[in-house]
């Protein structure tokens, strides 16, 4: 009896070699957009103390309530695979004293995240995000800068049918007053709400705007709107963010029902969607989180950021053919010439050439075929008594000392 085959866990996926080039392109694009704007790369650990997320993301959120991969370490401490990037980055900002550096501190990351969600197209249990955070400045130009940069990234990746929605959530104080009004409205129409929304009226009434349940949507159509509750300062801040986006020529739609699944947001929030994506249409989003640093034990410090899903950006960008790696030289060899062949191969790679050598025990004919399959420009035939170098483009072959093969290939490349 043979052993049962193992599979990757549900909702996870392997990044295969044919997928890797597209991901490298995302990383390159993110760096090209973010680093000239002053964002520096940061990577935090894959797991953190669970408390970071229950305090940072918010105990009432879906993420903390039901989506975290949490486990106990050998010291019986509760740990969690990171479900998002902002709370860890803020923790690192405080832990490394970055609040003492000139503000804002701009950081970006490209990492994998973990949420125990129901897997479907574009929704995984391990997924990758590019994120950017600007911590330490409340100026509306920070919010606008971040929106513009995410749009640039989506554009440079040719993500199709992109739309931007923005909203302002006000401060925790104005939101508290609004929350009460909204809770009252939801309670008054409790019989028409989905069970899920009804059971969480007290815990998180704002999430009712996100529901796809028909009855709930009808109730929400007449719900009070947050914008009627925000303070003058918040209203002015949002007006300035909009004016800056207008000045930058970035089209957007104001969506007073836009909410996001994390508790830490204040003032501006935004979300980019793509019409290419179907049900899971969000490609990236974020917002301002002026209370988060303090919530995690630091001084009162404003912050703003976003995260964009790499799988979703690639899905919405459509297939883009990636060039195959170039093989400059294929080293074919006879059994007694392995060492010489290996020397030629190593020297070629050290010289920066794309070089391969047969490792499957192919016959001479088989090696020629393999070289052609790889599109090798040169093929060296290394035998016991010498070496022949074939230029496959010119269709020419000449005898060459094995030690001279690499120089010949390099010269030939220059001539080509
Ligand atoms: P969030 O951290 O929830 O604001 O998500 C930011 C972005 O990450 C979303 O717009 C998606 O593109 C992506 N994302 C979030 N959750 C998932 C998931 N479970 N699978 C794949 N991508 C995700």
How do residues 233-277 score in pLDDT, each as one tens digit? 999 999 999 999 999 999 999 998 787 766 678 899 999 999 999
**Domain check: are 253 and 334 in the same one?**
no
Q: How far apart are CA 395 and CA 378, in angstroms?
A: 10
**Is the distance from the beta carbon of residue 265 to the nearest atom of ligand 1 less than 6 Å?**
no
Q: Read out DSSP for 334-372?
A: -GGGHHHHHHHHHHHHHTT--EEE--S---HHHHHHHHH
Rounded (5°) CA angle 62-296-72: 60
**Domain check: are 383 and 263 in the same one?**
no
Q: How far apart are CA 151 and CA 129, in angstroms?
A: 15
Which of 129, 292, 313 to probe ligand 1 with, by most ligand atoms within 8 A of CB? 129
- Residue-wise pLDDT for 282-317, tens only, equals 999 999 999 899 999 999 999 999 999 999 999 999
Q: How far apart are CA 20 and CA 13, in angstroms?
A: 12
**Which residue minimizes the CA distance to atom 4 of ligand 1?**
285
CA torsion 292-298-301-307 (nearest 10°) is -40
Given a cut of 60, whether residue 156 has pLDDT beyond it is yes
Which of 68, 131, 283, 307 to probe ligand 1 with, by most ligand atoms within 8 A of CB? 307
**Domain check: are 273 and 298 in the same one?**
yes
The arithmetic mean of pLDDT across residues 31-37, rounded, is 98
**Domain check: are 235 and 367 in the same one?**
no
**Domain check: are 341 and 311 in the same one?**
no
Q: Tell me if 11 is assigned to some domain.
A: no
Contact between 94 and 298 under an 8 Å Cβ cutoff? The reply is yes
- Residue-wise pLDDT for 97-133, tens only, equals 999 999 999 999 999 999 999 999 899 999 999 999 9
Given a cut of 80, whether residue 416 has pLDDT beyond it is no
**Domain check: are 410 and 388 in the same one?**
yes
Q: pLDDT class for 366, splitting at 50, 70, 90?
A: very high
**Which residue minimizes the CA distance to atom 11 of ligand 1?**
309
Between residues 271 and 280, the one the model is more confident about: 271
**Which residue minimizes the CA distance to atom 21 of ligand 1?**
123
The arithmetic mean of pLDDT across residues 134-141, rounded, is 98
Amino acid 321: pLDDT: 67
Q: What is the pTM of this model?
A: 0.88
Q: Is residue 319 packed enough to be buried (19+ CB in 10 Å), middle (13-18) or exposed (0-12)? A: exposed
**Cα(123) to centroid of ligand 1, in Å?**
7
Given a cut of 80, whether residue 155 has pLDDT beyond it is yes
Amino acid 68: pLDDT: 96
Between residues 136 and 323, the one the model is more confident about: 136
- Mean of the per-residue pLDDT values of the chain: 93
Q: pLDDT class for 200, splitting at 50, 70, 90?
A: confident
Q: How many helices (H) and strands (E) does the chain have?
A: 14, 16
**Which residue minimizes the CA distance to atom 13 of ligand 1?**
309
Amino acid 228: pLDDT: 87
**Is the distance from the beta carbon of residue 273 to the nearest atom of ligand 1 less than 6 Å?**
no
Range of the domain at 345: 329-415
Q: Which atom of ligand 1 is nearest to the CA of 282?
A: 10
**Cα(247) to centroid of ligand 1, in Å?**
29
**Cα(129) to centroid of ligand 1, in Å?**
7
CATH number at residue 37: 3.30.930.10
Strands 329-333 and 355-357: parallel
Between residues 155 and 229, the one the model is more confident about: 155
Amino acid 371: pLDDT: 97
**Domain check: are 22 and 141 in the same one?**
yes
Amino acid 14: pLDDT: 94
Q: pLDDT class for 74, splitting at 50, 70, 90?
A: very high
**Is the distance from the beta carbon of residue 261 to the nearest atom of ligand 1 less than 6 Å?**
yes
**Domain check: are 133 and 248 in the same one?**
yes
Please tell me which of 59-73, 163-177, 231-245 the model is most confident about, judged by mean pLDDT: 231-245
Q: Which atom of ligand 1 is nearest to the CA of 313?
A: 12
**Cα(127) to centroid of ligand 1, in Å?**
8
Given a cut of 80, whether residue 322 has pLDDT beyond it is no
**Cα(308) to centroid of ligand 1, in Å?**
7
Structural domains counted in the chain: 2
Q: Which atom of ligand 1 is nearest to the CA of 284?
A: 10
**Is the distance from the beta carbon of residue 307 to the nearest atom of ligand 1 less than 6 Å?**
yes
**Domain check: are 101 and 133 in the same one?**
yes
Q: Tell me if 201 is assigned to some domain.
A: no
Q: pLDDT class for 202, splitting at 50, 70, 90?
A: confident
The arithmetic mean of pLDDT across residues 345-368, rounded, is 97
Q: Tell me if 263 is assigned to some domain.
A: yes
pLDDT > 70 fraction of the chain, expressed in percent and rounded: 98
Given a cut of 70, whether residue 414 has pLDDT beyond it is no
Amino acid 58: pLDDT: 84
**Cα(236) to centroid of ligand 1, in Å?**
30
CATH number at residue 384: 3.40.50.800
**Cα(284) to centroid of ligand 1, in Å?**
7
**Domain check: are 80 and 117 in the same one?**
yes
Q: Tell me if 176 is assigned to some domain.
A: no
Q: Tell me if 91 is assigned to some domain.
A: yes
Given a cut of 80, whether residue 408 has pLDDT beyond it is yes
**Is the distance from the beta carbon of residue 287 to the nearest atom of ligand 1 less than 6 Å?**
no
**Cα(306) to centroid of ligand 1, in Å?**
11
**Which residue minimizes the CA distance to atom 15 of ligand 1?**
309
Rounded (5°) CA angle 161-31-116: 65
The arithmetic mean of pLDDT across residues 379-399, rounded, is 95
Amino acid 172: pLDDT: 78
């Amino acid at each position: 009896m043979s052993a049962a085959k193992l599979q990757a866990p549900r909702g996870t996926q392997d990044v295969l070699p044919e997928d890797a080039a597209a991901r490298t392109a995302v990383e390159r694009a993110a760096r090209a957009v973010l680093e000239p704007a002053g964002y520096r790369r940061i990577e935090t650990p894959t797991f953190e103390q669970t408390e970071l997320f229950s305090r940072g993301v918010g105990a009432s959120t879906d993420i903390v309530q039901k989506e975290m991969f949490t486990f106990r370490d050998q010291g019986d401490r509760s740990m969690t695979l990171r479900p998002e990037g902002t709370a860890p980055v803020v923790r690192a900002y405080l832990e490394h004293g970055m609040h003492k550096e000139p503000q804002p501190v701009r950081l970006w990351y490209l990492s994998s995240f973990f949420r125990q969600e129901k897997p479907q197209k574009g929704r995984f249990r391990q997924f990758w995000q590019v994120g950017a955070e600007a911590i330490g400045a409340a100026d509306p130009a920070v919010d606008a800068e971040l929106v513009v940069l995410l749009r640039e990234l989506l554009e440079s990746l040719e993500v199709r049918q992109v739309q931007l929605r923005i909203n302002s959530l006000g401060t925790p104080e104005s939101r508290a007053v609004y929350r009460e009004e909204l809770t009252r409205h939801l309670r008054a129409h409790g019989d028409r709400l989905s069970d899920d929304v009804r059971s969480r009226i007290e815990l998180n009434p704002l999430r009712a705007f996100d529901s796809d349940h028909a009855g709930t949507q009808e109730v929400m159509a007449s719900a009070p709107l947050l914008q009627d509750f925000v303070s003058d300062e918040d209203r002015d801040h949002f007006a300035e963010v909009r004016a800056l986006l207008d000045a930058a020529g970035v089209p957007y739609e104001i969506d007073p029902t836009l909410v996001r699944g994390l508790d830490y947001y204040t003032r501006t929030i935004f979300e980019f969607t793509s019409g290419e994506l179907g049900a899971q249409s969000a490609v990236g989003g974020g917002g301002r989180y002026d209370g988060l640093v303090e919530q995690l034990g630091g001084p009162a410090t404003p912050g703003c950021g976003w995260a964009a899903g790499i799988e979703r950006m690639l899905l919405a960008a459509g297939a883009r053919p990636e060039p195959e790696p170039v093989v400059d030289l294929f080293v074919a060899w006879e059994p007694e010439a392995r060492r010489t062949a290996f020397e030629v191969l190593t020297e070629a790679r050290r010289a920066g050439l794309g070089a391969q050598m047969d490792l499957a025990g192919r016959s001479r004919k088989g090696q020629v075929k393999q070289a052609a399959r790889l599109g090798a420009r040169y093929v060296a035939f290394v035998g016991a008594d010498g070496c022949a170098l074939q230029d496959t483009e010119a269709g020419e072959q000449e005898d060459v000392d094995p030690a001279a093969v690499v120089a010949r290939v390099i010269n030939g490349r220059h001539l080509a």
